[in-house]
Amino acid sequence: MSDAERPTDDHVPGSDDFEPIQVFPEAEDMDLRPGADNCYKCSTCDTNCPVAEVDDEFPGPKFQGPEQWRLKRQEDHDIDSSVMKCSNCMRCDGACPSEVPLSQMHNAARGEYVDEHMDTFSREYVRNRILANYRRLAPLGAAFPRTANFVMGLSVTKWMGEKLLGITGEREFPEFATQTFREWWAERGGAQVRNENKRIAYFHGCYSNYNTPQVAKALVRVYERFGYEIMVPEQSCSGTPMFANGMLDDARRAAETNVRELGAAIEDGADVIASCSSCSMSLRQEYPELFDFDDTETVAENTWDAIEYLRVHEDLEAALEGTSVDGERYAYHAPCHSRNQGLDGQTVELMALIDGVDAEDVGDSCSGISGTYGWKAENYETSMKIGEEMFEHMDAADATTGLTECPTCSMQMEHGTGYEITHTLEVLEDALVGTKE
Amino acid sequence: MAIEDDVLVIGGGLAGATAALAAADRDVCVRLVTFKQSTLRHASGLIDVLGYASGVNGPLVDPFDAIADLPDSHPYRRVGEETIRDALAFFDRIAGPAYEGGHTDTNALVPTHGGTVKPTARYPASTAAGLASDPRDMLLVGFETLADFDAPLAAAHLDAAGVPFEARGVTLSFPGIRRDDAKITRYSNLLDREETVETGTGSATAREALAEAIRPHLADESRVGFPAILGDEHADEVRADLAAAIGADVFEVPMGPPSLPGMRLDDLLYAALEDASVRVTAGVPVIDYQTNGTGADRIDRVIVDRNGTEIPHRAEQYVLATGGLVGKGIRSDRSVESGSRDDDVRTDGVEPADAGGSAATERSGVVFEPIFDCYVPHAPDRYDWFVDDAFGEHPYARFGLPADRELRPLDADDEPEFENLRAAGAVLGGYDYAAEKSGAGVSLATGYAAGRRAGDEVGYRP
Ligand SMILES: Cc1cc2nc3c(=O)[nH]c(=O)nc-3n(C[C@H](O)[C@H](O)[C@H](O)COP(=O)(O)OP(=O)(O)OC[C@H]3O[C@@H](n4cnc5c(N)ncnc54)[C@H](O)[C@@H]3O)c2cc1C
Ligand code: SF4
Ligand code: SF4
C-alpha cells in the first residue's frame, strides 16, 4: 500500500490550532512543509489553473507550491521564475481536496523570488512596484483628475508606458473621479446616522475612493437605510496587488496601518465591511496567513463582505421583496476572490428578489485580468485568452449591462465586451433607497 | 439572523449534488454548502453500481442480482433495490444524452487506460463507441507528452484479456503541445477553442491537425480511441469533427485523475442544480452545529466558516455528504490530544492516550466525523486499520458512519444521532467502493434517498 492510500492525520478546517506564518524578517525561514506533505499529487489544482489552461509554458500550481517546496528542501534549489506568471487568482486553493495552502505558498515563493532574484533597478521590478503601489500614484491623479485622465488617455503616454515600463498599451487607464469618496464623505460631514449598537468601519479600498466613488456612496446609503453608523477610518491599500507582485515589504507596511486602524474601530464596537472582494479576501485570509501583528486575527474574524453582512445581520431578503427598479438585465460575473469566500452565488440570489431586475450568471471562468496581472505587456495576451470564455458567455447573455464586485474584473469585462459595468451595491441602492446616481 | 433554507446539504460531490436535486424535486428551498472540489473531478466519470462481489469470480453481469447477498449494513441494503433503481432513473433524467447504459440492467464493459476492462452501469456518451462487447477492431492513439496512456501497451493488454476484436496502438505527438507535463486542460482547451497550431507542414486548427496526424496510421479499424482529453465545453462537437475528418468512430478511454469526464459530470450536475434553483455556497466549510436547547437531538443551525468569519445557516433538514477519508468527510488522528476536537468526544472505547509519548500514543488513533462528531466505529489501534497485503481487505476502506434505513447516522447504541440529519455517499461506512466498484452507485442511491426524505420531511415537526 502506498502512503497516499493510508489514512492521514490532518488539519480540520476552522479549528484554532492554525499557526500564522511570520514571513518577516526572514522569508526564507518559513516552513510550509506540513502543507507540502499533504499533497498527494492528484493534479486537481492544475486543472483549475486558468493560466496553465492557455499557456503551455506555465508549470502550474502543483509545481509552484508543494513540488517547489520539496525541491528547495532537498537540493538547495532556487525559486523558479515561472512563479511570476501566476496571477494570484487563488483558484487552486479552492480546488485542492487535500487542503494544501497553495496560494499562501505562491505568495511566499514570489516574495522570495523578488527579494533574491530580481534586480531592483530592472524595468520589470520598477514597473511591478509602480503597479503594485497604485495607491501612491492615485492621489496625484485624483488631485488633478481632468489633467490625469487627459494625459493617461494620450497615445504617447500609452506608447511610453509600453516601451519604458512594459505596461500594455491595449488597455484604457481607469478614469479618476473628479471628487474622491473621502472628499465627498468630509463634505457631507461624515456619518449621518448615530447608533451605538450598529456600527461599521468601511474599508473602501483604493479603487472606490479614487475611481468609482459611486460604489462607496451606494454602500453608505444602503447601510444608513438599515440604521448603521458608518466610520471611515484611515486606511492603506489592502495589499493584494503587492502580494501578487511579490512586494511583501510594501504589503507589510500597508497591512500594519490597516490592522492598527481597523483594530481600533473594532475596539469601538464596529465590524469591518469591504465592498471589493479582493480587499475582503486579503483582510480575512492573506493577512492571517502572512502576518501576525497584534490584531491580525481580530481584524480577519470581524471583516465581512458588504452584502453578506446585511444578509446575516438584517433581513435583506425581506427588505428586497417587493422592491422594483426600472427594467435592467445584467450579465453577472463572480470574481475569483468572491468564489473563494463562498460568495459567488449571493448576487444572483438577491437580484432575483427585485422586480424588474434579471441577472444571469455568465459561468465560472476567470476574467483573466487578476489585478495588475493583465496590465503587464507580457501577460496581456494570456489575460485576454483566459477571459475569452467569459466574453463569449457575456455576449451570448440576454443582458444590457455587466455586474460584478471586483474593480479589475469590471475593467476586463468592459474591455472585452464593450458592456458598461456596475456593482451589486449600486443595484441594491437603487432598489432600497432609490437614489442611484 | 441566520441564512435560512428548508434543506441544507453539506458537501458538493456526487452524493451531495444528487441529494440537493432530489430534495429540490419536492419543491422546497434547498442550499448546498461545499468546501473543496469533490472527488468526482478525479473519478473516471463512470457510474459503477456493483462490479464485483465477494464470493463471485470475475465481474458481475447484473449488479442487481448480487445486492440481496450484501451484508445488511451495506448502504445498498439500507436503502433497498427499488431505491437504487429509482436513483439511476433520476440520474438518467438529469444526464440526458450525456450518458448511456440505461437500456439494460447488465453491466457494460469499458476498456480503461491500463487496458483492463471495467464493469460499469452508466458511461459517458464519449466512451460509447469503445465498449469491449462491440466486435469492431480498434486503433488506440496515445501521445508522447501524455505519459498516463501507453496506447500500444493498453492494446496488448486488451488482446491478452481476450476481447472479441483486434486492438492496435500507436503513439504520436500532439500538435501544438511541447511540454511533457502540459495540463490535460491545455489539450482540451486547444481542441475546444480550435486554436491554430503549427504542424510540420504549416499551420492548421487543432482538430484538423490532430486528424491529419492520425489518418496515415489508420488501417481498416472503424473506431479510434483517445485518452479522455477531447474537449470540455464543446466535447461532443470535437468528437464529431474528429470522426468526420478521420472517417471512423471516435471514443475516449477513461483516464486516472485528474479526469475530464469526471469534470464534465461535475459541470453537468452543477448546471442541473442551477436549473433547479438550488442555492450553492462553495469554497467554505461547515465547521460546527448548534441545537436549540429544547431538543438536543435536533440540529438547529450549522456554522459555516468564511475565511475566519462564522456564518450561521439554518434549515429544517440536513444532509451530510462530505465524503470519506479521501474527500475529508471522515478524518483520522493519532490521538485525542494531538487533534483539535473537544475532549468529551466518544472514541469508541479508546482511552485518550496520555501525552507522555508512550507506545500507546504511537499506536492509538482516532477516526472521526469532524462536523457533528457522529459515531465512526474503528479499532483503537491504528495498526489494525490496514493489513499488510496491499490488495487485502483493509478495514479503513470501510470506515464511515453506520446508518438506519432512513440513512440517519446511528450512535454506538444504534440510536439516530439527530432526528433531522441524514448521511449520503462516501461518508457512510460498510462498503469498499474500490474493491466492489460501487463508488458512484452508492453516492447516487444514498444521495437520492437522503435528499428525497429530507425534502418530504420539511414542515414536519414531531
Ligand atoms: C481517483 C478516484 C477514482 C474513482 N473512480 C471511480 C469510478 O471509476 N467509478 C465509480 O463509480 N466511482 C469512482 N470513484 C468513487 C466515486 O467518485 C466516489 O465514491 C464518489 O464520488 C464519492 O462522492 P461523495 O459525494 O460521497 O464524496 P466526495 O466526492 O468526496 O465529496 C465530498 C465533498 O464534501 C466537501 N466537504 C468535506 N468536508 C466539508 C465540510 N466540512 N463542509 C462543507 N463541505 C465539505 C468536500 O470538499 C467535497 O467537495 C473514484 C474515486 C476516486 C478518488
Ligand atoms: S493562483 Fe491562479 S494562476 Fe496562480 S497557480 Fe493558482 S490557479 Fe494558477
Ligand atoms: S490539488 Fe492538492 S493534493 Fe492535488 S496535486 Fe494539487 S496540491 Fe497536491
Out of A137-141, B28-32, B337-341, the most confident range is B28-32
pLDDT of residue B446: 98
- What number is the average pLDDT over the span B109-136? 95
**CA–CA distance, B248 with B244 (Å, rounded to integer):** 7
pLDDT of residue A26: 39
- Among protein residues, the one with the nearest Cα to ligand 3's atom 4 is A42
List the single residue in B41, B331, B396 with the smallest CB-CB distance to A44.
B41
CA–CA–CA angle A65, A70, A71 (5° rounding): 100
Q: What digits encode the pLDDT tens for the residues A260-319?
A: 999 999 999 999 999 999 899 999 988 998 888 999 999 999 999 999 999 989 999 999
B20 lines ligand 1 (CB under 6 A): no
Q: Of A244-248, B118-122, B127-131, B395-399, which gets the smallest average pLDDT?
A: B395-399
* Whether residue B151 has pLDDT greater than 80: yes
Q: Are A208 and A215 in contact (CB under 8 A)?
A: yes
**CA–CA distance, B424 with B450 (Å, rounded to integer):** 6
> Which ipTM score applies to this complex?
0.72
pLDDT of residue B362: 54
CB atoms within 10 A of CB A272: 29
* Whether residue B359 has pLDDT greater than 50: no
pLDDT of residue A400: 86
Q: Which helix (H) or strand (E) holds A110?
A: helix A102-117
Please tell me the distance in Å from B166's CA to the nearest CA on chain A: 33
**Per-residue confidence band for B416, with pLDDT thresholds at 50, 70 and 90:** very high
DSSP string covering A55-109, please? -TT---HHIIIIIHHHHHHHH-PPPPGGGGG-----HHHHH-TT---HHHHHHHH
pLDDT tens per residue across all 437 residues of chain A: 333 333 333 444 444 443 434 333 333 345 555 667 788 888 889 988 999 988 888 889 999 888 888 777 766 677 888 888 888 888 898 888 888 889 888 888 888 888 888 787 777 777 777 777 666 666 655 666 666 655 565 555 555 556 556 677 777 767 778 899 999 999 999 999 999 999 999 999 988 898 899 999 999 999 999 999 999 999 998 888 888 888 888 899 999 999 999 999 999 999 999 999 989 999 998 899 888 899 999 999 999 999 999 998 999 999 999 899 988 899 999 999 888 888 888 999 899 999 999 999 998 889 888 777 877 888 888 889 999 999 999 999 999 899 999 988 988 998 889 999 999 999 999 999 985 44
**Per-residue confidence band for B342, with pLDDT thresholds at 50, 70 and 90:** very low
pLDDT of residue B199: 81
pLDDT of residue A42: 84
Please tell me the distance in Å from A11's CA to the nearest CA on chain B: 8
Pocket of ligand 3 (CB under 6 A): A 39-45, 62, 65-66, 95-96, 98, 100, 102
CB contact under 8 A, A44 and B182: no
Q: Are A304 and A271 in contact (CB under 8 A)?
A: yes
* Whether residue B461 has pLDDT greater than 60: no
C-alpha cell at B245: 475528418
Nearest to A217 by CA among A236, A233, A234, A230: A230
**CA–CA distance, A199 with A195 (Å, rounded to integer):** 7
- What number is the average pLDDT over the span B170-195? 90
C-alpha cell at B78: 439500507
Which residues sit opposite B167 in a β-bridge? B138
Q: How far is the CA of A193 from the centre of ligand 1 (A)?
A: 50
B46 lines ligand 1 (CB under 6 A): yes
Nearest to B232 by CA among A53, A282, A403: A53
Helix (H, G, I), strand (E, B) or coil at A334: coil
**CA–CA distance, B185 with B181 (Å, rounded to integer):** 11
Does any CB of chain A come closer than 8 Å to the CB of residue B363? no
Nearest to B16 by CA among B34, B28, B4, B42: B34
Q: Of A220-229, B264-273, B386-395, which gets the smallest average pLDDT?
A: B386-395
Please tell me the distance in Å from B388's CA to the nearest CA on chain A: 8
Phi, psi of A220 (to 5 degrees): -60, -45
Residue of chain A minimizing CA distance to B398: A7
**CA–CA distance, A124 with A129 (Å, rounded to integer):** 8
**Per-residue confidence band for B168, with pLDDT thresholds at 50, 70 and 90:** very high
Picking from B306, B342, B366, B367 by the largest number of A CB atoms within 10 A of its own CB, the best residue to mutate is: B306
Q: Of A290-294, B62-66, B69-73, which gets the smallest average pLDDT?
A: A290-294
pLDDT of residue A227: 96
* Whether residue B287 has pLDDT greater than 90: yes
pLDDT of residue A160: 56
CB contact under 8 A, B36 and A97: yes
pLDDT of residue B247: 95
pLDDT of residue A405: 92
pLDDT of residue B351: 36
Instruction: Kindly list the residues from chain A whose CB atom is less than 8 angstroms away from the CB atom of residue B334.
Output: 9
CB contact under 8 A, B37 and A95: yes
Pocket of ligand 2 (CB under 6 A): A 48-49, 51, 61, 64, 86-92, 102-103, 106
* Whether residue B142 has pLDDT greater than 70: yes
pLDDT of residue A163: 59
Cβ neighbors of A201 (< 8 A, separation 6 or more) are A231, A232, A233, A262, A265, A266, A270, A271, A272, A273
Q: Are B51 and B436 in contact (CB under 8 A)?
A: yes
Report cis status (omega within 30 of 0) of the bond before B135: no
The length of chain A in residues reads 437
Q: Where are the alpha helices (DSSP H) in A325-379?
A: 336-339, 346-351
Q: How far is the CA of A33 from the centre of ligand 1 (A)?
A: 26
Residue of chain A minimizing CA distance to B12: A97
% of chain B beyond a pLDDT of 90 = 68
Residue of chain A minimizing CA distance to B325: A7
Cβ neighbors of A153 (< 8 A, separation 6 or more) are A172, A173
pLDDT of residue A152: 60
- What number is the average pLDDT over the span B8-23? 97
Q: Could you tell me which residue, A185 or B352, shows the higher pLDDT?
A: A185
B286 lines ligand 1 (CB under 6 A): yes
| Closest ligand by atom to A386 CA | 2
pLDDT of residue A4: 33
